Amino acid sequence: MKVTVVGQGYVGLVTAAGAAEWGHEVSGVERLDERLTALLAGRVPFHEPALGELVESHLANGRLNFTSDGPTAASAASLTFVAVGTVNAEQHWETKTIRACLAEVVPHIPDDGAVVVRSTCPPDFIAQLPAYVEELRAAAGRASIAVMLNPEFTKEGTAVQDFLEPDRVVIGVASDPDGRGVALLREFYAQVESPVLVLSAMDAILAKLGANLFLATKISFANELAALCDLYGSQIERVIEGMAHDPRIGGSFLRAGIGFGGSCLPHQVTMTVREAAALGHDTPLLAAVDGINLRQKLTFVDRIDDLVGGVAGRRIALLGLTFKPHTDDLRAAPALEIASMLLDRGATVVAFDPMESARRNARAQIRRLTVVSSAIEALTDADAVALTTEWPEFVTLPWAQIAGVVRGRIVVDGRNALDPEAMVDAGFVYSSFGRGHRVPVDTEAAVATSRAMAQERVGIPIGAELAVGD
Ligand code: UGA
């Protein structure tokens, strides 16, 4: 079938390339000249594994093309997806762009076609959507069309696979009196074997938001539990293992650390709390999820501060800038907030990330940050190491050799990515979340520092969780 996808960002481009992979004829509409030129040359303007190969092969076989001409592309397509940004720089919902895109393409969609909103939108916008589309059609003297939602559940880093093999497809019906919109979307997803759920538009958008809010809640819960593990001298991974066999609980998305970042989870939590409050409705659980997420970053910075005896004038190696591995996305990246906090406390922060584009953008965003082009450069002479993104290349660094390169043998692991025993064996004082503070047996000063720090933080005599050299 002929498909148009308006907006070639993370969501739109994955949708366009994935649809071409299923054999649909796809036009991707992009208004930014630079991005359009890159796409026409087969270059993906951000890092997403496997996406480049799909774009290149379907550009070559003609199933995928890119254009800036939305009206022409929409006039030829049965389905016109709209996948543009709905959040502004201040992290507020912003529907100006999606309204403008709809105004541009909706009048040109064939009478037997459908418009499909793929962007995550605020519920009040969804409530107004059918009337808005109808208004645009009437003003152009055109008949009504089906107005649908099709929220995406893809994760950056595995977005192509998530699109091609989704665990479910959610179709939201905003206006579809004769069922044509549902039929077209079923045809679009014909190759998918997982359940296709047809919901009302409001149920569909709340299923999308609800999924992300629940995932954020799981992470903040894991972080709360990790703090209890530190309090009582317990090991978070073992605790989670002891819980996860219960099928009602499960073990995924419960990794403790510096918290969730990215373009979706953080702002969807804060915006939901704010929007509900504006309607006079309290959301205390989500407010706590947000608060815990902020606290994790502060705790991380405090730990580094404590372990080096004050970060002012110290050199801190920051490993990882992106909000998670296998992406170059810096949106709401915990590493950037942590870097700013360390800089504000007077530290020199020397950062490295394997993604060149992430390094470039981080440098542009935080002028005071020193960004270098190798991990070893960042680590040389560092007073402490802050691990902020669990890129595999950081996990497999030769830590025993790195102990001879750093000035202070202190590693604070914000992603619980390194093996505590191995780090202690390599000679490091090692701190992570919910796994106690580990110190090498032969570093008496480090033992004293870490013990004093833990006692002060916990307020009770400790010892058990100071796994000295074991
Ligand atoms: C998230 C959702 O996971 C997707 O299902 C959703 O489709 C997407 O948002 C969206 O709405 O578009 P994404 O933002 O790519 O996907 O990132 P996640 O994999 O969810 O990770 C978010 C953050 O949580 C990262 O900073 C990650 O490091 C952190 N995280 C994740 C943890 O701290 N602990 C965990 O156990 C898992």
Rg (CA), the chain: 25
CA dihedral 442, 444, 449, 453 (to 10 degrees): 70
Classify residue 189 as left (phi > 0), alpha (psi -120 to 50) or beta.
Answer: alpha
Determine if the pTM surpasses 0.85: yes
Residue closest by Cα to atom 28 of ligand 1: 324
pLDDT score, position 231: 94
465 near 458, Cβ under 8 Å? no
Q: Is 200 helix (H, G, I), strand (E, B) or coil?
A: strand
Q: Is the pLDDT of residue 453 over 80?
A: no
Quote the DSSP letter at residue 106.
Answer: G
CB contact burial 223-240 (16+ within 10 A = b; e otherwise): bbbbbebbeeebbbbebb
Please state the atom number of ligand 1 nearest to the C-alpha of residue 390: 28
Residue type at 425 in one-letter notation: D
Instruction: Write out pLDDT tens, residues 2-35.
Output: 999 999 999 999 999 999 999 999 999 999 999 9
pLDDT score, position 459: 45
pLDDT score, position 106: 98
pLDDT band, very low/low/confident/very high, at 452 (cuts 50, 70, 90): low
267 near 332, Cβ under 8 Å? yes
Tokens of 193: 């074997």
Q: Is the pLDDT of residue 271 over 70?
A: yes
* 219 pocket-lining for ligand 1 (C-beta < 6 Å): yes
Instruction: Write out pLDDT tens, residues 176-191.
Output: 999 999 999 999 999 9
pLDDT band, very low/low/confident/very high, at 444 (cuts 50, 70, 90): low
Q: Which residues pair with 438 in a beta bridge?
A: 430
Instruction: Write out pLDDT tens, residues 103-117.
Output: 999 999 999 999 999
β-bridge pairing 429-431 and 437-438: antiparallel
* 433 pocket-lining for ligand 1 (C-beta < 6 Å): no
pLDDT band, very low/low/confident/very high, at 90 (cuts 50, 70, 90): confident
β-bridge pairing 146-149 and 169-175: antiparallel
Q: Is the pLDDT of residue 93 over 60?
A: yes
Distance 244 CA to ligand 1 centre (A): 19
pLDDT band, very low/low/confident/very high, at 404 (cuts 50, 70, 90): very high
135 near 284, Cβ under 8 Å? no
If you search the block for the tokens 């590493």, which residue do you land on? 335
pLDDT score, position 449: 55
Q: Is the pLDDT of residue 353 over 90?
A: yes
* 255 pocket-lining for ligand 1 (C-beta < 6 Å): yes
Choice among 126-140, 267-281, 453-467 with the minimum mean pLDDT = 453-467
Instruction: Write out pLDDT tens, residues 156-176.
Output: 999 999 999 999 999 999 999
Tokens of 28: 């991707």
pLDDT band, very low/low/confident/very high, at 445 (cuts 50, 70, 90): low
Q: Is the pLDDT of residue 465 over 50?
A: no
* Distance separating alpha carbons of residues 109 and 425, to the nearest angstrom: 65
pLDDT score, position 448: 58
Active-site residue list: 264
Mean pLDDT, residues 366-380: 98
Choice among 174-183, 256-265, 447-456 with the minimum mean pLDDT = 447-456
Instruction: Write out pLDDT tens, residues 36-81.
Output: 999 999 999 999 999 999 999 999 999 999 999 999 999 999 999 9
pLDDT score, position 91: 86
* Distance separating alpha carbons of residues 457 and 451, to the nearest angstrom: 10
Mean pLDDT, residues 128-154: 98
Residue closest by Cα to atom 17 of ligand 1: 155
Mean pLDDT, residues 422-427: 96
Question: Mean pLDDT for the chain?
Answer: 94
173 near 186, Cβ under 8 Å? no
If you search the block for the tokens 């999308």, which residue do you land on? 208
* 155 pocket-lining for ligand 1 (C-beta < 6 Å): yes
User: Which of 155, 206, 208, 391 best tests ligand 1's pocket when mutated (most atoms within 8 Å of CB)?
Assistant: 155
User: Which of 241, 265, 432 best tests ligand 1's pocket when mutated (most atoms within 8 Å of CB)?
Assistant: 265
